Amino acid sequence: MQTATTGLVLRQVKVGEADQILTLLTPDLGVISASARGSLRLKNKLFSACGLFCYSEFTLTAGRSTWFVDSAQIRQGFHALSDSVENTALAIYLAELTASLAPAPPDSEPCLRLLLNCLYMLSGTRRPPRQIKAIYELRMMSAGGYMPDLLACAGCGRYDGGDFRLDIADGRLLCAECAKQQGLSANLDAGALYALRHICLSEDAKLFSFTLSDKSLARLSGVSEGYLLAHIEHAPKSLNFLKSVLE
């Protein structure tokens, strides 16, 4: 049985001389593996549409344990990512996260849209890599049911004013004073707290519409990564390399 779908290539594994197994994120099938025979040959009809981070239209045939790519036509290629080591490393990290965390259909469709938007912003250097990383981490965790409680301080009810702390283990927000009473220090300044709320609560169209100082972005980046790692089983293998090139 053949199926037509769109998909973003998250991973390529070479098999033999010219074949590869693709990991695809699709809106209607979720994350799937698909065999693309001969797709590594330059003259093969699948070559241009089966590259890493290519968003393409696929015709697939279902096998017993995998799908097979019958045809593919590229819609969008994010070739500019390769112009920067930082951008390439971040894209690989986002793809690895997606392969392990993407929800099943129909929730895979907004996940695909989020990742495509992040790659678009990244490939055009429209936002700093650390900002895109934090947006994706926090948005993915929120979509997966791990949105932190960002309404107000869990201790005194303060909404803003001064520094705050997000407890990465239980997702509670504490003002600096309440955190100090528990022997904890603040990890968010006013800018980082605003960005945290914006990322988790804003609509898709406004998701990237904020800017941060370097100091606030460093705070946000540390909290978003820590929160992600506290709620997933294994740290992505690509994270260490990404951190080494972002430093």
Tens place of pLDDT for every residue, the chain, 247 residues?
899 999 999 999 999 999 999 999 999 999 999 999 999 999 999 999 999 999 999 999 998 888 999 999 999 999 999 999 999 999 999 999 999 999 999 999 999 999 999 999 999 888 999 999 999 999 999 999 999 999 999 999 999 999 999 999 999 999 999 999 999 999 999 999 999 999 999 999 999 999 999 999 999 999 999 999 999 999 999 999 999 999 7
Please give the Cα distance from 28 to 48 (Å, whole number): 23
SS3 172: coil
- Give the domain-ending residue among 32, 52, 77: 77
Contact call for residues 189 and 217 (beta carbons, < 8 A): no
Residues 58 and 124 in one domain: no
What are the φ/ψ torsions at residue 141 (nearest 5 degrees)? -65, -40
Residue 1's pLDDT is what?
A: 80
- Give the domain-ending residue among 57, 77, 97: 77
- Give the domain-ending residue among 43, 62, 77: 77
Residue 125's pLDDT is what?
A: 82
Those residues whose C-beta lies under 8 Å from the C-beta of residue 236, and which sit 6 or more positions away, are 93, 96, 97, 100
The model's pTM: 0.95
Please give the Cα distance from 219 to 193 (Å, whole number): 9
- Domain tally for the chain? 2
Which domain, by its residues, includes 52?
2-77
Please give the Cα distance from 229 to 224 (Å, whole number): 9
